[in-house]
Amino acid sequence: MKTESRKPLVIDCHAYAGSGKTWADPARDVNYEAAEIFERGTAAGIDRHCVMPPRNDTYREANRQIASLCEQHAGRLIGFAAHSPRREAGSLRRMLVEEVRSMGLRAVRSDGPPNRELLDAVVELGIPVIYYPSGNWQQLGRYIHMPATAYPKVNFIIPHLGQYHSLSWAAHPEAIDLARRYGNVYLDMSGVGSFKYAEMAVRELPPDKILFGTCAPELDPRVDGEALRLLKLPPAAFAKVASQNLLRLLGKPPRV
């Protein structure tokens, strides 16, 4: 009997939707439409995208936008919240509980170093934290070591293998070391400028620690789709990087 091989599910763990300023440049206004993501994401063979808001001062409205888009495109989009621990201090738990339990968002991006208020809520909700300490490689260690140690039950996803566009190359080996050291630190491979560090990550880390992402629609998801292909992972490892790791970190969807 002929058995058909099924294409592994590919989920982009790092995409954007809604309005705000681009994370790449605080001076540039953006309003990312879901259609922009789907057009090129489909061409890249991506089945679903995790979307989070672009940069905002506060995120209550932006997160509602995300939830609304996910409702419109159920099955294609997975919504992540974003919050600024500093600018939204005092109301983080209340907002996040509502966004996760009532609105169905599945993770939170921390706009700035995560604080105890945010991380305590994250523990309660059992969701992962996406946090990118921009700057050079020393920033990465400075802002990841302590949260990862103090909150061993929280899973941290560091975007861009530690450095957007590979502008500071030494951040990539530093991020790989952090992911090796801490069981609760994961790396997403979106928006990496120097592909050899993605190759280094899959060579040096177990495939359970790396997540596929694209930065769509800010960046063309077809490029990171090609990067995933060029990693030449064995099927089991490919399936983990392409979606299984993310789904494991997200856990069961909350009852909305």
Partner 1 sequence: MTDTIRVAAGPIGPKSMPESFSRRDFLASAGAVVAVTASRAADPGRVPVIDCHTHAGTGTDLTAPWTTIADPQEIIRRHKEAGIDQACIFPITHDTFEEANREIAEIVRRYPGHFIGYAKHDPVTEKGRIRAMLLRECREMGLRGLKLHVKPTPEVLDTVAELGIPIIWHPGRVAMFDDVAKAYPTVDLIMAHLGSDLSNDWREHLAAIDLARRYPNVYLDTGACVFTRYLEQAIKELGPGKIVYGSDEPEVDCRLEIFKVRILKLPKEQEEMILGGNIQRLLGKYKGGAA
Q: Which residues in this chain contact partner 1 in the complex, by CB under 8 A?
A: 24-25, 28, 165-167, 169, 191, 193-196, 218-220, 222-223, 226-227, 230
**Cβ(212)–Cβ(228) below 8 Å:** yes
Find the shortest distance in angstroms from Cβ 23 to partner 1.
13
CA distance 185 to 179: 5
Find the shortest distance in angstroms from Cβ 254 to partner 1.
35
**Cβ(77)–Cβ(51) below 8 Å:** yes
Find the shortest distance in angstroms from Cβ 221 to partner 1.
11
Find the shortest distance in angstroms from Cβ 189 to partner 1.
12
Find the shortest distance in angstroms from Cβ 56 to partner 1.
20
For 79, the 3-state DSSP assignment is strand
Looking at beta carbons only, is 8 or 173 nearer to partner 1?
A: 173
Measured on CA atoms in the order 76, 99, 89, 183, is the torsion positive or negative?
negative
**Cβ(140)–Cβ(158) below 8 Å:** yes
According to DSSP, the β-strands at 18-22 and 25-32 are antiparallel
Looking at beta carbons only, is 29 or 124 nearer to partner 1?
A: 29
Looking at beta carbons only, is 66 or 228 nearer to partner 1?
A: 228
Looking at beta carbons only, is 143 or 197 nearer to partner 1?
A: 197
CA distance 253 to 255: 6
Find the shortest distance in angstroms from Cβ 93 to partner 1.
36
Read off the DSSP letter of residue 219.
Answer: S
Alpha helices in 98-192, H assignment, sequence order:
116-125, 137-150, 171-181
Looking at beta carbons only, is 119 or 201 nearer to partner 1?
A: 201
- Helix, strand, coil % in the chain, rounded to nearest 5: 45, 20, 35
Looking at beta carbons only, is 227 or 247 nearer to partner 1?
A: 227
Find the shortest distance in angstroms from Cβ 12 to partner 1.
16
Alpha carbon distances (Å) from 18 to 95, 155, 158, 211, 217 = 18, 25, 22, 23, 11
Looking at beta carbons only, is 163 or 243 nearer to partner 1?
A: 163
